[in-house]
Every structure is written in C-alpha cells, then in structure tokens.
Structure 1
C-alpha cells in the first residue's frame, strides 16, 4: 500500500465520520483512530521499514556549578569579545561563547564543502536513514532538548514542546516520507515542433548553503534548515543568534551525531556564532550557494545587500503582523476560538513570527469576544512553571509601553497588563505582563508595527462585509500568515481567505499551514521566497533542465534544413521558410497550419 492509498483512506474515513454529529468523545477518538490505523499502514508498508534508527548519545550543555545571578544580564560585556550567555527567566549566568572570526567561518565552509562532495553522491535511502535516526534521538531526548531551550530562551516547557519538538519532528517525518518524491527528476511536456524531444527537470545539490536564524526557537530554527539542506544533498553552515548561542553546540551535535551513526562525515553540518560586524563575511562568501534568513526587516536589508556582492540567492522570512479574523458566523464557536486565540497570542511570550498580532472581529461578535478574553488574559501567570515564560531580553519593553500608551491616548482601552513585570522570585528575569488592548483602530502604530511580545490587540471592523474586513486586515505592510474563523458555508469566510495578502492562511485554526509542511514564507514586508514543503526543498537545489532526443535509437535528431544553413543561401527564401515553421508550430487554426506547411514546402 502506497502513501497515496493511505491518504485516500483517511479522506474516505473523514467523509464517513462527518455524516455523524461530532461530540467531544468522537472528536478525541478521531485522531486516535487515524493515528493507529493510518499510521500503522504507513509504517509497515514503507519501503524503509526495516531500516531501524540507530541510537546515539550527545552530551547536553551544563550550567556552572555556582549559581551566579547577573546584575545586568546582557550578551555583551566590557573587557572581552566573548558572548555572555544567561537565562532570560532568572538572569543566571550560563557561560561564555567565543564568537567566530572570518578565518573561522572560512574553515567551517571549507570543511562543509569537503564533506558535501561525498554526501552529494549518497542515495535518498541513505539520507532517510540519517533523518530517521535523528528523529529517534529527538523523540528519546525531548525533555532534555526542551529544558535546554527553556534555559537559553526563557520559554516554558510546554511552549518548547510545541514550538521546538513537535514542528521539528513533523519536518523530519515529512522529509522522510515525501522528500524523495519532491526531488526526483520530473518529466515536462514538449510541443509539436519539438515532439521528438523528451524533457526532464533534475534537482541537484547546490553545494554548501547557509542559514541565519533567529533566537525565538533555538532548536527548531537551527534544525529546520539542516534537515532540508542535507536531504537535498548539500552541506550547511548555520549562523545562530548571539542571544541563544549557549545551546547551539549541543543542538548541532544532535545533527552531527546522526551522520556519524551512519558513517558519514559530521563536518557536513556547521554552526557558527558571531557579532554582526563579522556576519557579512558569511553572507557574501563565494563558497555559499544559497542563503536562508529568518529575522527582522532592517537586518535583512544588510543581509541582502551583502549577498548581492556574490549574487547569492536569498530566502527571507521577516516576521509579520498576523491577523486572526473572527466573523459573525463564528458566534456559536467562540469558546473554542478563544482557546486558540490565547495560545496563538501568548505562546512563547508572543515571540512567534506567525503568532497572532491582531484579532480582527466583526461587529456581531466583537463585544462578546472582548468579554470572554478579558478574564482569561488577566488570569495569566508569569514564570517558567506558570503560563507565560520570560522574554529573551528587555530590549523592546520601552517600545511596547510607548505603543500601548499612545494607543490608549488615541482612544483604545487597556483591559490588562501594558507594562513590564518585576517577578518576585526572579527580579533579574525579563518579563512583560500579558496585555489586552481593545478598540484599537487601523491607524494606530500598535496595529501596524510588529510587537513580537505578549500583547493581544483587538480591532473592530466597520461592518461584516468582506471588503471592510479586508481593508482592516491588509492595512499593515506585512503578509506572513493569518487565520479566519467562521462557518464553513459562510461566503464571507471564503472571500476573506482569498482576499488576505499573506503567505499562508489557516481556516478555523491557527498556523497549521506551518505544522503540515506547506511552503512557508511571506509577501510585502514579511519577505520573499519559501522554505518547507516541496518548494522549500527544491529551492535548495540547482534546477537543471535536460532536453534529450526521444527517438535517438531510430536516429531521429535535430537537423538544420538547407534554407537556413550557414552561410544562408537566400535570406528571403530562408525567412519564408522559418515563417512556415513558426506557423506549423503555433497557428491557432487548421487552415493556418496548412498554409504554413505550404510555405515550408515552397521554400525548401
């Protein structure tokens, strides 16, 4: 049984179960049934079933034995070029990491290049084995991975489980199951004039690619580019953020350990950390064939300019101002929707590129939604063992407070939070109070600037029409993701889904387009290009077009006709002949083709 057969079975099962009312029990049983039956079919029928993953160990980073709370937690300290690492949740010192130099970056690229020359010759089956072993390690060690991420970035263990483990496991599983199909040579159509040719597009490794990734998901943002790069046959250098570099060596060793377990060169995967003034050496390096950038718009301007020096292609994901649109037709589903809005806004303290930055509600549900959200937001507790964790630093706190104060001065209502929080147990930690601000209008700065923090912002649309809704939703100069909530049969829902200018839209859910490995990226100020899915894998390849003779075995090949051989005997005759050739190939009527054939025969 093929994967496609299992998918068809799932679709048929879904159609059947939708004929019955879905109460809570059935809703819980449904994914269980699909997991047990569908997953078993996939597992036991997969061609690589008997290739068992290998177990390996990687030492986790250790905190210093002596607990030292920094008076002023910051990555840069006087007297050293080393990067100071600390726990954002407590201010506890974790250690120093020496940044890479230009010479160090040169060595990393050279080592990856040497390893890639051999790796490029591996089969897809060999690459799958490495990824399957890597997946097994992630599943076996997820608590340790989450704990390290929590120490380094300040997120709770629950947020780490969802934002680090789940999405990384999904990317590994998707690539194992579907990566080869995306990268196999694909046949392409021909035309009448070239009907004796056969056309194929081949997806070949680029060499060594690079990724510059952000700090909000230190494990997933590092592993995601590695998974895609090595499956496509490339080597990779990942430049990690200075804010979360303490965990980078451990996470890199996880990828390298899977390579070593199967006898491959671990130097294929490299990670570096450096100060901004050194990063340009990587982004303009002639040894880099492709660059993925995840970060802010101002930094992307510098990265793109640097990459242009060597014409390195760039995929840029620059965050967003994602809207969650709640329609009047969602009125009977608000209890479920409120749960999603809370998770979508406050996961990882709002430090989520596809987090919900704006809730756009239509008049019929606006007041009810506000009344339901106010007590929920006000009840949120702060701390690693509570609901909302720490932020990576306090660099944006003054900006948050000003955005909120300006909005209130212009007529918005602050119902919860709105200021930094002094944690009673961790006064040196970086916390911002979960915030709810309503009656926000599209002209306010808080409705247009990416906050990247635990701030829930609610806007009311002028009416319930699709045009008024889209005017509000599409106002900011961002377009990464969005979500729309309403009755499936509501024509407004479909109009809004198709009218939103964004790279991905989730219907009656939040950000699921990322969790199922659809191509990911944005438009306008949210960047360009895509990673994840088939498009993301192919984007890490040289797309080589190959055109061959279909009937070479019969001796049928291209021959230059006498009227157009160099030297051309007669330009007039040659032009009439080629005019006939064009007519034969592209005339839109039979009569036109017959006339063209006459031109050819008369001028042979």
Structure 2
C-alpha cells in the first residue's frame, strides 16, 4: 500500500513535470522560432562534449541495467554512433538549412518558388530499453539540427541509464531547450498525449498502435520505429561460413535484443544441417563460454527472460527441434540471465516464436526449395524493419530487393546499415513509418515551407474575371495540351 502511494506520487510529479516543461519549451520556441546555424551547432557541440565526458559512466550505467552488457557493445552500438552522428550533422547542417529554389511555370512568371526548412517547435521522443543511449541521442541530434526544442521520455526498464542521462542533459541544456522525463508506464501514456509538434516512438508494434492512437487525438505527426520479424535469406551458393559468421554477430550482439536483429533464417533445404554446424562453430569461436563471459550480454530483466523461455518451451512442446548453442555446456538456469542462442529448426506458424518479434537469442531456421519460395514466405507476412541476404550473385541480390519490402536491408551483413549516417532509417507497414538519421532526420523534424513570391509586376491579372475572354482561351490552348 505504501509503495503504491509512493509510486502514484512519483508518477504525478513526473506528469506535472511534463506539463510544466512543455509549456516552457513552447514559450521558448516562440521567442526564437528560427535558431541560427551557429546556435544549432553550439547545441550539438555541447551534447558531444557531455557524452565524451561521461562515456565511462554511461557504459557502467548500461551495464548495471542489463546486469551484464559488454563494454565494447555499448561503445560500438551507443557511444560511437552517437558521436559519429553528431560529427556528421555538424558538417552538413549548414547545407541542409539552405532554402532550395524550385521551378516556376511560365504562366506564373515573373516570380520565385522557394522551399524554406522551418523548425516544427517542440518534439517528443519516447525511448526503449534495448539501446537507451543511442535511441535517445539519435532523434535528439536530428531535432536539434532542425532547430527544435526536445522532450525525451526514457524507459523505466533502464533506471540507472535513464537517471544518469537526465542528469547529463540537465547539466548542459536549460530545461526549456532539452529535458528528460523519467517515470513508469503511466507517465509514458501521459507523455504520448501531449500536443507535440512531432513525436518519435521507438518500441514494439503493439505499443506503437497505442502511441499513434494517442497522437491522433492531437493530430500530432508521428515517426514510428517499430520492429517485427526481420528475415535473413541464405543463398544456395554462398560459402556457409561467411553467412553463419555474420549471422552469429547479428544475433549474438546485445543477446539479440535489437530491433533489427535477424529474427529468422530462410535456408536452402539441403543446407540446413550445414548451417547449424557452421553457426555453432562460428559462435564458439566468438564466445567459448557464456555464463561468466563479459562479452556476452544478459537478458535485460526477469520478465523478458521468462518471455523468451516461454517461446522455447512452446516450440519444444509443439514438436520443433531446439538446439541450444552453448559451447561449454554450462548450466545457464541459475544465478544469471544469460541465455544461449537457441536454434529452432523448421518451426510452424502455430508456435509463439513465429507469431511475435523475438527480441532475444532465439533463431528459427526455416527450409526453402527455391528463392521464390523464400520471397513468398516473406511477402505473406507483415513487412519487416530489416532484411538480410547472403549470396554473392548480384542478379539474385537485386531480384530479392525488387520483389520484397523492408524498412532497410543489408547484403552480406547484418545490423550495420543502422550505423550509416547517410542512409535513412525507418520501417514500412507494420514495422513503422517515417525515417530519421542524417539528412532524413533533419527533414523529419522540419516543416518544408513552400513559398511563392512575386513583386510589383503582376501577370496574374490575365486570368482574372470576367472569364471566357479571348485571353483565357489563348492561355488554355497553350497550357492545356
């Protein structure tokens, strides 16, 4: 009873903070609706310095939240892409801000058409638990580059990181420029109901529907970065060790708790055993042990661990062949949330593991006969956030890309398309809508304001009423053909 009262009080305080900060940021934006390029760069530089100054603390906080997160994984997936994204934006923001000239039709001359890139105002960002730093900083960088104020709702499932990040932001930005909100699910619900000028949500498809529904009440535009079941297709001719090694990296990284992790593998029927053998061997080369190996990340909490174990148990009960990739045959059931990768061979659609995004170290392997069969399998399901193809035949690569849809894709690699600063990142269909990163991020948080301007000389009066004159007929004969 006492705990619930405390929780209620804390939630109420966070909700009051949301309302206060939003009003403050709206007022601040009205006083400076078009920040200069130097102001935007200064904000980005301040953020960069703060991240560099606190990188060790951030690594340790994330490690505490996961109970074990490989330091190198946090460097590779959170610190480095955050800094690289800031550096890339600093180099390009002046160019992105420049108004662009557009064509003016002969009928409307003399005049100018120009697109101005105008900040939207106050942007809301909802951050998930799996990459709590990068998925806060990425949208923040894009929104600041576009000249906006930003409110960030961190995940309650990464309390150490969320608290530290809130303190870091408070030290380098005034509250009316950037503010971090913490709190539980009730706070997140209230956050999604705020009349932001744009909102970006990263998380599950199910929660994304609730966020979009809440945003619709305010006609708030949303960017949804969701997920889904990202397939990996192995070609009939690719060297299996090449494909398996890269799939091991993509699936083992952060213990599969990645929105673009390979969710299932489509493998030629006559190569499934070869894939299993190669995958086990390549995994063992990277992770000879698991239980006390600081290079292998834990499942974030008991709730997620139980969910994943439920998927494995369900697949076994329904007749799937389940192979635990555990090189040292360690007991993983006690005193740890480490979970070996489990290969699920030829699962069926009635298994839980094939019905939801896995988001953990489980990898179904599905046999196919011809490439078109694999393509049909993918196209019969919701469009994924990512797709991976392993094969060196360029015609087959292009054929797969032409006949499927996904938010992004890698040819002969996994995950790393997300770290390309000059590629848009986003989903399609059930895996999300809208894009950010690089130039697309700037454009997402910008109003593309088209302006037609003319001066004293006015040819427009040629089409003024009364209608039906000879000049009207002449104009129609020239332009309607």
- TM over 0.5, yes or no? yes
- Superposition map of 1:199-348 within 5 A: 199-259=113-173, 265-286=174-195, 288-331=196-239, 334-348=240-254
- Superposition map of 1:66-81 within 5 A: 78-81=3-6
Q: CA deviation at 1:380?
A: 5.5
How far apart are the structure 2 equivalents of 1:365 and 1:497?
23
Evaluate the alpha carbon distance shift between residue 77 and residue 455 of structure 1 in structure 2; reply closer, same or farther with a 3 A threshold: farther
How far apart are the structure 1 equivalents of 2:16 and 2:43?
30
Give a deviation string over 1:221-245, Cα, whole Å, max 9, x none. 2222221111211111111111113
How far apart are the structure 2 equivalents of 1:204 and 1:227?
16
Q: Which has the higher contact order (CA 8 A, sep 6+)?
A: 2
How far apart are the structure 1 equivalents of 2:62 and 2:87?
21
Of structures 1 and 2, the larger Rg is shown by: 1
How far apart are the structure 2 equivalents of 1:254 and 1:389?
25
**Partners of 1:479 and 1:501 within 8 A in 2:** yes
- Superposition map of 1:371-520 within 5 A: 371-377=277-283, 381-383=289-291, 385-416=293-324, 422=332, 427=335, 429-440=336-347, 444-463=351-370, 465=371, 467-487=372-392, 489-517=393-421, 518-520=423-425
| SS of the residue 1:353 aligns to | coil
- Superposition map of 1:37-56 within 5 A: none
How far apart are the structure 1 equivalents of 2:379 and 2:10?
42
Q: CA deviation at 1:409?
A: 4.7
**Partners of 1:170 and 1:516 within 8 A in 2:** no
| SS of the residue 2:113 aligns to | strand
**Partners of 2:10 and 2:183 within 8 A in 1:** no
| SS of the residue 1:440 aligns to | coil
Match of residue 583, structure 1, among 470, 477, 480: 477
**Partners of 1:209 and 1:290 within 8 A in 2:** yes
How far apart are the structure 2 equivalents of 1:421 and 1:583?
83
How far apart are the structure 2 equivalents of 1:579 and 1:347?
68
Evaluate the alpha carbon distance shift between residue 127 and residue 168 of structure 1 in structure 2; reply closer, same or farther with a 3 A threshold: same
Q: CA deviation at 1:117?
A: 4.2
How far apart are the structure 2 equivalents of 1:77 and 1:294?
33
Higher deviation after alignment, 108-117 or 380-389: 380-389
Q: CA deviation at 1:289?
A: 0.8
Q: CA deviation at 1:294?
A: 0.9
How far apart are the structure 2 equivalents of 1:385 and 1:179?
42
Structure 1 residue aligned with 2:22: 109
Q: CA deviation at 1:543?
A: 1.6
Evaluate the alpha carbon distance shift between residue 252 and residue 175 of structure 1 in structure 2; reply closer, same or farther with a 3 A threshold: farther
Q: Does 1:560 align with 2:469?
A: no
How far apart are the structure 2 equivalents of 1:445 and 1:216?
21
Q: TM-score normalised to the size of structure 2?
A: 0.89
Q: CA deviation at 1:437?
A: 1.9
**Partners of 1:469 and 1:496 within 8 A in 2:** no
How far apart are the structure 1 equivalents of 2:170 and 2:280?
47
How far apart are the structure 1 equivalents of 2:105 and 2:270?
55
| SS of the residue 2:425 aligns to | coil
Please list every run of 5 or more consecutive structure 2 residues that lacks an aligned counterpart in the other structure.
none
Evaluate the alpha carbon distance shift between residue 392 and residue 544 of structure 1 in structure 2; reply closer, same or farther with a 3 A threshold: same
Count matched residues.
475
RMSD: 3.0
How far apart are the structure 2 equivalents of 1:559 and 1:386?
72
Please list every run of 5 or more consecutive structure 1 residues that lacks an aligned counterpart in the other structure.
1-75, 84-95, 260-264, 588-604
Q: CA deviation at 1:273?
A: 1.9
| SS of the residue 1:339 aligns to | helix
**Partners of 2:108 and 2:459 within 8 A in 1:** no
Evaluate the alpha carbon distance shift between residue 122 and residue 459 of structure 1 in structure 2; reply closer, same or farther with a 3 A threshold: same
How far apart are the structure 2 equivalents of 1:446 and 1:282?
31
Evaluate the alpha carbon distance shift between residue 208 and residue 506 of structure 1 in structure 2; reply closer, same or farther with a 3 A threshold: same
Q: CA deviation at 1:316?
A: 0.8
How far apart are the structure 2 equivalents of 1:77 and 1:318?
36
Give a deviation string over 1:370-413, Cα, whole Å, max 9, x none. 21112444766335743422222222444433433443455532
How far apart are the structure 2 equivalents of 1:180 and 1:470?
42
Structure 2 residue aligned with 1:29: none
Structure 2 residue aligned with 1:86: none
Evaluate the alpha carbon distance shift between residue 124 and residue 291 of structure 1 in structure 2; reply closer, same or farther with a 3 A threshold: same
Evaluate the alpha carbon distance shift between residue 224 and residue 118 of structure 1 in structure 2; reply closer, same or farther with a 3 A threshold: farther
Evaluate the alpha carbon distance shift between residue 383 and residue 422 of structure 1 in structure 2; reply closer, same or farther with a 3 A threshold: closer
**Partners of 2:241 and 2:282 within 8 A in 1:** no
Match of residue 48, structure 2, among 127, 135, 147: 135
